Amino acid sequence: MEQEVLSANDVVRIDRRLLEIFVAETRRHLDAMRRGVVALRQDDLSKASLIWRGAHTIAGNAAMLDLRAFVEIASAVERLRGERSSDVARAAADWIVDAIDEMESLVNCIEIPASESRTLNLHPVPRPSRPAADA
Protein backbone atom coordinates (compact mmCIF):
# COMPACT_ATOMS: atom_id res chain seq x y z
CA MET A 1 0.00 0.00 0.00
CA GLU A 2 1.39 3.36 -0.94
CA GLN A 3 2.07 6.04 1.57
CA GLU A 4 -0.86 8.35 1.25
CA VAL A 5 0.40 11.72 2.26
CA LEU A 6 3.42 13.31 3.85
CA SER A 7 5.30 11.07 1.54
CA ALA A 8 6.73 10.85 -1.89
CA ASN A 9 3.50 10.61 -3.77
CA ASP A 10 1.88 13.70 -2.40
CA VAL A 11 3.61 16.48 -0.57
CA VAL A 12 6.97 16.04 -2.21
CA ARG A 13 5.51 16.45 -5.66
CA ILE A 14 4.67 20.04 -4.82
CA ASP A 15 7.48 20.78 -2.41
CA ARG A 16 10.96 20.22 -3.79
CA ARG A 17 12.31 21.83 -0.63
CA LEU A 18 11.68 18.53 1.17
CA LEU A 19 14.06 16.74 -1.12
CA GLU A 20 16.69 19.40 -0.74
CA ILE A 21 16.43 19.11 3.04
CA PHE A 22 16.62 15.31 2.89
CA VAL A 23 19.73 15.37 0.73
CA ALA A 24 21.47 18.02 2.85
CA GLU A 25 20.52 16.39 6.15
CA THR A 26 21.56 12.94 4.95
CA ARG A 27 24.95 14.18 3.76
CA ARG A 28 25.52 15.92 7.09
CA HIS A 29 24.71 12.76 9.02
CA LEU A 30 26.84 10.57 6.75
CA ASP A 31 29.81 12.85 7.46
CA ALA A 32 29.11 12.59 11.19
CA MET A 33 28.78 8.80 10.92
CA ARG A 34 32.24 8.60 9.33
CA ARG A 35 33.63 10.48 12.33
CA GLY A 36 31.74 8.05 14.52
CA VAL A 37 33.42 5.08 12.84
CA VAL A 38 36.84 6.60 13.49
CA ALA A 39 35.85 6.98 17.15
CA LEU A 40 34.52 3.43 17.25
CA ARG A 41 37.84 2.09 16.02
CA GLN A 42 39.55 4.08 18.78
CA ASP A 43 37.18 2.70 21.43
CA ASP A 44 35.64 6.13 21.95
CA LEU A 45 32.14 4.75 22.33
CA SER A 46 30.69 8.08 23.38
CA LYS A 47 31.63 9.78 20.13
CA ALA A 48 30.75 6.61 18.24
CA SER A 49 27.14 7.43 19.06
CA LEU A 50 27.29 9.71 16.01
CA ILE A 51 26.86 6.49 14.01
CA TRP A 52 23.64 5.46 15.67
CA ARG A 53 22.17 8.97 15.79
CA GLY A 54 22.89 9.51 12.10
CA ALA A 55 21.50 6.14 11.11
CA HIS A 56 18.38 6.75 13.20
CA THR A 57 17.66 10.12 11.63
CA ILE A 58 18.38 8.96 8.09
CA ALA A 59 16.12 5.94 8.56
CA GLY A 60 13.31 8.05 9.97
CA ASN A 61 13.57 10.73 7.30
CA ALA A 62 13.77 8.21 4.49
CA ALA A 63 10.77 6.32 5.84
CA MET A 64 8.71 9.50 5.73
CA LEU A 65 9.63 9.93 2.06
CA ASP A 66 9.25 6.22 1.28
CA LEU A 67 12.89 5.92 0.18
CA ARG A 68 13.17 2.32 1.17
CA ALA A 69 16.75 1.62 0.18
CA PHE A 70 17.91 4.22 2.70
CA VAL A 71 15.56 2.83 5.34
CA GLU A 72 16.91 -0.69 4.96
CA ILE A 73 20.57 0.28 5.09
CA ALA A 74 20.27 2.87 7.86
CA SER A 75 18.06 0.62 9.97
CA ALA A 76 20.55 -2.22 9.65
CA VAL A 77 23.30 0.08 10.92
CA GLU A 78 21.12 1.36 13.74
CA ARG A 79 20.35 -2.18 14.91
CA LEU A 80 24.02 -2.66 15.73
CA ARG A 81 23.54 -0.21 18.59
CA GLY A 82 21.60 -2.85 20.41
CA GLU A 83 24.59 -5.14 20.57
CA ARG A 84 25.60 -5.53 24.19
CA SER A 85 29.16 -6.22 23.28
CA SER A 86 31.06 -3.28 21.89
CA ASP A 87 33.38 -5.88 20.36
CA VAL A 88 30.61 -6.76 17.93
CA ALA A 89 30.17 -3.16 16.90
CA ARG A 90 33.89 -2.64 16.48
CA ALA A 91 34.13 -5.73 14.34
CA ALA A 92 31.37 -4.32 12.19
CA ALA A 93 33.18 -1.01 11.54
CA ASP A 94 34.20 -2.02 8.03
CA TRP A 95 30.65 -3.05 7.26
CA ILE A 96 29.36 0.29 8.59
CA VAL A 97 31.76 2.13 6.28
CA ASP A 98 30.40 0.11 3.35
CA ALA A 99 26.87 1.05 4.40
CA ILE A 100 27.81 4.74 4.62
CA ASP A 101 29.42 4.54 1.16
CA GLU A 102 26.29 2.91 -0.24
CA MET A 103 24.01 5.58 1.21
CA GLU A 104 26.29 8.30 -0.11
CA SER A 105 26.09 6.73 -3.54
CA LEU A 106 22.31 6.64 -3.29
CA VAL A 107 21.98 10.23 -2.16
CA ASN A 108 24.19 11.33 -5.04
CA CYS A 109 21.72 9.67 -7.39
CA ILE A 110 18.70 11.66 -6.24
CA GLU A 111 17.58 14.17 -8.79
CA ILE A 112 16.16 17.45 -7.56
CA PRO A 113 14.21 19.09 -10.36
CA ALA A 114 14.63 22.76 -11.04
CA SER A 115 10.89 23.39 -11.16
CA GLU A 116 8.35 22.72 -8.40
CA SER A 117 5.72 21.90 -10.98
CA ARG A 118 7.48 18.81 -12.24
CA THR A 119 6.87 15.38 -10.84
CA LEU A 120 9.89 14.42 -8.80
CA ASN A 121 11.85 11.26 -9.14
CA LEU A 122 12.31 10.39 -5.49
CA HIS A 123 13.90 7.06 -5.99
CA PRO A 124 17.55 6.66 -6.77
CA VAL A 125 18.17 6.81 -10.46
CA PRO A 126 19.55 3.51 -11.75
CA ARG A 127 22.97 3.87 -13.16
CA PRO A 128 22.99 3.35 -16.90
CA SER A 129 24.01 -0.11 -17.81
CA ARG A 130 26.78 -0.70 -20.22
CA PRO A 131 25.32 -1.09 -23.70
CA ALA A 132 25.47 -4.57 -25.08
CA ALA A 133 28.00 -5.13 -27.78
CA ASP A 134 26.53 -5.10 -31.24
CA ALA A 135 26.02 -8.49 -32.66
Partner 1 sequence: MRTKILIVDDSTLLHRMYAVALQTYERRAIEAVYASDGAEGLARLHEHPDVALILLDVNMPTMSGLEFLRQVRAMPSFADVRIVLQSTEDAEADVARGLAAGADGYLRKPFNRAELYALLDSLVS
The contact set with partner 1 (CB under 8 A) reads 3-7, 10-11, 15, 17-18, 21-22, 25, 53, 56-57, 59-61, 63-66, 75, 79
The residue (of 41 and 79) whose beta carbon lies closer to partner 1 is 79
Contact 26, 70 (CB under 8 A): yes
Question: CA angle at residue 99 from 94 to 100, to 5 degrees?
Answer: 95
CB of 3 to partner 1, least distance (A): 6
The rounded distance, in Å, linking the Cα atoms of 63 and 88 is 27
| C-alpha–C-alpha distance, residues 34 and 31, integer Å | 5
Given a contact cutoff of 8 angstroms between Cβ atoms, the answer to whether 40 and 90 are in contact is yes
List, in sequence order, the alpha helices (H) in 80-126: 86-91, 93-108
Our CB check for partner 1 shows the closer of 38 and 63 to be: 63
Give me the least distance between CB of 123 and partner 1, in Å please: 15
Q: Which is nearer to partner 1, 60 or 113 (CB)?
A: 60
What do you get for the CA distance between the two ends of the chain, in Å? 43
Choice between 64 and 112, CB closer to partner 1: 64
Query: Residue 55 Cβ, how far from partner 1 at the closest point, in Å?
Result: 10
Least separation in angstroms between residue 133's CB and partner 1 is: 44
